[in-house]
Structure 1
């Protein structure tokens, strides 16, 4: 049988900032049959997205396809002139991005954006396109399918927007879809809904596609075959079940091992932390956004009456769906977003609600590391500048001792000292997050709030970051507040776990209790974590709406 997609001897080169040319895709072969989904997996920089994009005859800025062929239904996309390629994109091959929010124009209604490709290619009359869009909304299990297209992007949830991006890709009836990490930014319960919707539409339309991901458990639910990549080369390929159960290549086995991080060694069972023992004591904190009402409360309350404690040298995890208030609570603890009620006691002293009302010593002792190192690090500064600033601000270090301390910090986060003169754009995702963490360590803190710091990292790099955090904790007697939607990461590093829903703390459990949760919402969260089993999603039986109704009582 002839493959719908046939890649032969694909080679892609990239030009570095210094003008040097390096080969990033090195002679890759790949076939995809009609109705088949092939997953490309590997760590960041392995070439997954680069290969996927060549199906559209596209190479990112600074990159160039220099060899091989990429045939789509017998037509070589590499050999086609750009005008002919543009006619194929969107009509015969379409793309579902990692960030649907970035793919939509906030000023244009959803329906107009979903059917835009039909208007561009003249595939069908616009009224017919609107009817097909509504049918797709229904097939993708979107709420109010007849009217959701009248909304603007900001009026729907992240999971709904991700499914709408899939509808936009499917509207013109393409033969091939590229899924580029489409569930990476979603919490586990939303991810289940989106994966189910994708599977049902793929089966109904006999779609062929490439699914780019670093999450093997997600790939197990949707892919027929898996291709393992590293440094632009195929390490191993085979049927999904064969790769998961009988992986041959050591690198594939390393990826599989990284799916479940090593658990935190607990010397004693976690117990209730008293106020006297607490390093951090958050008491009845409420946080919100928008204009204030007459009673002094904001128009939108994002965190409501939450209390928690963290003992010295211990770790507290905070979990819950997107929008539950996790990151808002983190910002309130750090003084970035002042609460309108309640307070934060740190090391026995009440902190000012805003960071500007806290002393330099209080700011030094309580640090926060943000989710996206790309936006947290100044792109114009070198690593040396980024790490040197807190050393000068908090410790008043002169140039020579500051330089020596920067070397020590790089050693602590296991980065080569040779990186100190590079800027963030010259670092990998994992390296940037290590610099982000080293900057917090430069203050010599007692507690670090980690806000989704592994969510954008592949499993191998994320596991290495978690191991690093544990090692530094042992050496420096640090405490962590660890916010994440990756429940396996929280289970691996935390002594206690707070479960949040719609701004409220609904339960506090230990990692040991995660095997036998009692609250219905905690059960829903934990049951939504994908397993390395291709049958897991099909066998999963949940009633999320019933659980949410219970939580709102």
Structure 2
């Protein structure tokens, strides 16, 4: 079997904020055979995406290839001219990004964008390209393949958009596909559909691929071989089966250990004689759009939700995209008014909007948002962002405030030197930890965590979860943890509420999740969590919870 990709002694340098040049890829060697899918695994900053992008002859701003060869289909992308690189992209090598939403132009129809590669490279007449696009939509198991191309990007779901970005990449019949964390932002049930579609198309076409991910369980379903990276160096290479079941390198073992977060010990929190609810949600109905004569918004997202959360405990809220999880957090935080129902904290009813709440009520209840990119002011350095709540809620200034900023950065495992950087100069994981540090600065009693580990690699996420647990014990914090990652909820939460189409369909202790779920949708969610087993995805059709849950859904 021939080698479609051969990377030899690849070296990439980057320039730091201070102008210092550092080597971020340090002599990497790897190869990919025809029809083989190789996964690049490692924590944030390990060099996964940097290596993958060199296959397209591309480096990020501030980076440069300083040595080695990146040979794709017999041609070295390092020595190519810019014109040759442009000709390569989309025809020889194609790229599927992590965020399909950012890859699509919102003002153009999906079809116009999918056929763009064929148009740019003059690969075929447009009518033929459109016909081929429909065939790809069918192969990727997209709904209404004949007409979905007429829609705009905002008119399809996240999972559908991710598969459409694959169709855009496949239309030029590339020899190599580069997948850059394509399922990270998807809920577990959608992730299954996308992985199945990717695997089916790649197998059918005998294509080679590089799959970048920090999720070992996802990689186990699609990769033939795994390359483990850390600090720009290869730590271990082996078949997916060998890496997962018989790792030899200590770092690989740490990655696998981090995949299994420690579950919540039911005896870790002493039971008080009369548990005190810190948060009580009663009959909550909310949504978006104009309010009708019935007092309900045009689009009702939450329907009659009841929840209670005890002080010092953690409640997980799980469900697929669109189930109402984040809307629930926004209503509780006062960012979206409820149409009906109430939110009470320590027995006192809270105002519907933040402007109707006192400074003390705002301090006690903080929210950490899923998208750190939009939650942090891009024009302010990290130190100023974290310092703002210290001044606003506690009147802190001068050296005291500066020392507290340093302490908060240390609490979320970030170096003090980051305080001078802008958010754009941080990785996704670093931005999310700044987000959390800012919430902690208020010294809250209840924190609403909206998918706060979804952007983090496995090792860092495990460290953050340990930190959350530690802070809860030390500070008596209470958490509502919104997530589509069930293993995260299991690790952090005492109880879990399952949301489905705006309703709470079940609530149970997390210790009962795996064996005691009763609602078909709860069973579907739990059965859809990828296992560290290379045969898991192919054997899913045999799981009765999957078929029963899908039928109910």
- The TM-score range, normalised by the shorter chain, is over 0.9
Q: Report the secondary structure of 1:537's partner residue.
A: coil
Report the CA distance shift for 1:19/1:414 in structure 2 as closer, same or farther (over 3 A): closer
Q: Report the secondary structure of 2:498's partner residue.
A: strand
Aligned to 1:333: 332
Does residue 386 of structure 2 align to residue 387 of structure 1? yes
Distance (whole Å) between structure 1 residues aligned to residue 101 and residue 534 of structure 2:
29
Distance (whole Å) between structure 2 residues aligned to residue 117 and residue 410 of structure 1:
45
Report the CA distance shift for 1:356/1:66 in structure 2 as closer, same or farther (over 3 A): same
Offset from partner CA, 1:91-119 (integer Å, 9 cap, x none): 12111111111111111111111111111
Number of residues of Structure 1 aligned to a counterpart in Structure 2? 550
Distance (whole Å) between structure 1 residues aligned to residue 82 and residue 491 of structure 2:
49
Whether contact under 8 Å (1:264, 1:470) holds in the other structure is no
Whether contact under 8 Å (1:270, 1:510) holds in the other structure is no
Q: Report the secondary structure of 1:177's partner residue.
A: strand
Query: How far is the alpha carbon of 1:398 from its aligned partner?
Result: 3.4
Aligned to 2:552: 550
Moved more, 539-548 or 526-535: 539-548
Offset from partner CA, 1:254-300 (integer Å, 9 cap, x none): 111111111122227999999x8210001111111112222221111
Distance (whole Å) between structure 2 residues aligned to residue 92 and residue 358 of structure 1:
57
Distance (whole Å) between structure 2 residues aligned to residue 139 and residue 522 of structure 1:
29
Query: How far is the alpha carbon of 1:432 from its aligned partner?
Result: 2.9
Whether contact under 8 Å (2:432, 2:455) holds in the other structure is no
Distance (whole Å) between structure 2 residues aligned to residue 29 and residue 141 of structure 1:
36
Aligned to 1:60: 60
Aligned to 2:464: 465
1:309-328 → structure 2 map (5 Å cutoff): 309-328=308-327
Distance (whole Å) between structure 2 residues aligned to residue 389 and residue 162 of structure 1:
37
Q: Report the secondary structure of 2:537's partner residue.
A: helix
Does residue 455 of structure 2 align to residue 478 of structure 1? no
Aligned to 2:250: 250
Q: Report the secondary structure of 1:17's partner residue.
A: coil
Query: How far is the alpha carbon of 1:150 from its aligned partner?
Result: 1.4
Report the CA distance shift for 1:91/1:42 in structure 2 as closer, same or farther (over 3 A): same
Does residue 455 of structure 2 align to residue 456 of structure 1? yes
Q: Report the secondary structure of 1:328's partner residue.
A: helix
Whether contact under 8 Å (2:429, 2:455) holds in the other structure is no
Aligned to 1:375: 374
Query: How far is the alpha carbon of 1:9 from its aligned partner?
Result: 1.1
Whether contact under 8 Å (2:523, 2:549) holds in the other structure is no
1:3-82 → structure 2 map (5 Å cutoff): 3-82=3-82
Whether contact under 8 Å (1:110, 1:150) holds in the other structure is yes
1:255-266 → structure 2 map (5 Å cutoff): 255-266=255-266
Whether contact under 8 Å (1:96, 1:182) holds in the other structure is yes
Query: How far is the alpha carbon of 1:168 from its aligned partner?
Result: 0.9
What is the aligned-residue RMSD (CA, Å)?
1.9
Distance (whole Å) between structure 2 residues aligned to residue 71 and residue 25 of structure 1:
16
Offset from partner CA, 1:419-448 (integer Å, 9 cap, x none): 433333444443333322221111111110
Q: Report the secondary structure of 1:538's partner residue.
A: coil
Offset from partner CA, 1:155-194 (integer Å, 9 cap, x none): 1111111111111111111111000100000000000000
Whether contact under 8 Å (1:273, 1:311) holds in the other structure is no
Distance (whole Å) between structure 1 residues aligned to residue 457 and residue 431 of structure 2:
13
Query: How far is the alpha carbon of 1:550 from its aligned partner?
Result: 3.1
Q: Report the secondary structure of 1:4's partner residue.
A: strand
Offset from partner CA, 1:102-153 (integer Å, 9 cap, x none): 1111111111111111111111222222221111111111111111111111
Offset from partner CA, 1:17-36 (integer Å, 9 cap, x none): 32211111111111111110
1:297-316 → structure 2 map (5 Å cutoff): 297-316=296-315
Distance (whole Å) between structure 2 residues aligned to residue 523 and residue 357 of structure 1:
40
Whether contact under 8 Å (2:520, 2:548) holds in the other structure is no
Ranges in structure 2 where 5+ consecutive residues have no aligned partner: none
Does residue 90 of structure 2 align to residue 93 of structure 1? no
Whether contact under 8 Å (1:412, 1:472) holds in the other structure is no
Does residue 422 of structure 2 align to residue 423 of structure 1? yes
Query: How far is the alpha carbon of 1:413 from its aligned partner?
Result: 3.0
Moved more, 485-494 or 409-418: 409-418
1:88-487 → structure 2 map (5 Å cutoff): 88-267=88-267, 277-487=276-486
Distance (whole Å) between structure 2 residues aligned to residue 176 and residue 415 of structure 1:
37
Moved more, 453-462 or 408-417: 408-417
Moved more, 400-409 or 203-212: 400-409
Q: Report the secondary structure of 2:290's partner residue.
A: strand
Aligned to 2:495: 496
Distance (whole Å) between structure 2 residues aligned to residue 43 and residue 122 of structure 1:
39
Q: Report the secondary structure of 1:56's partner residue.
A: coil
Q: Report the secondary structure of 1:174's partner residue.
A: coil
Report the CA distance shift for 1:491/1:114 in structure 2 as closer, same or farther (over 3 A): same
Ranges in structure 1 where 5+ consecutive residues have no aligned partner: none
Distance (whole Å) between structure 2 residues aligned to residue 450 and residue 303 of structure 1:
18
Q: Report the secondary structure of 2:3's partner residue.
A: coil
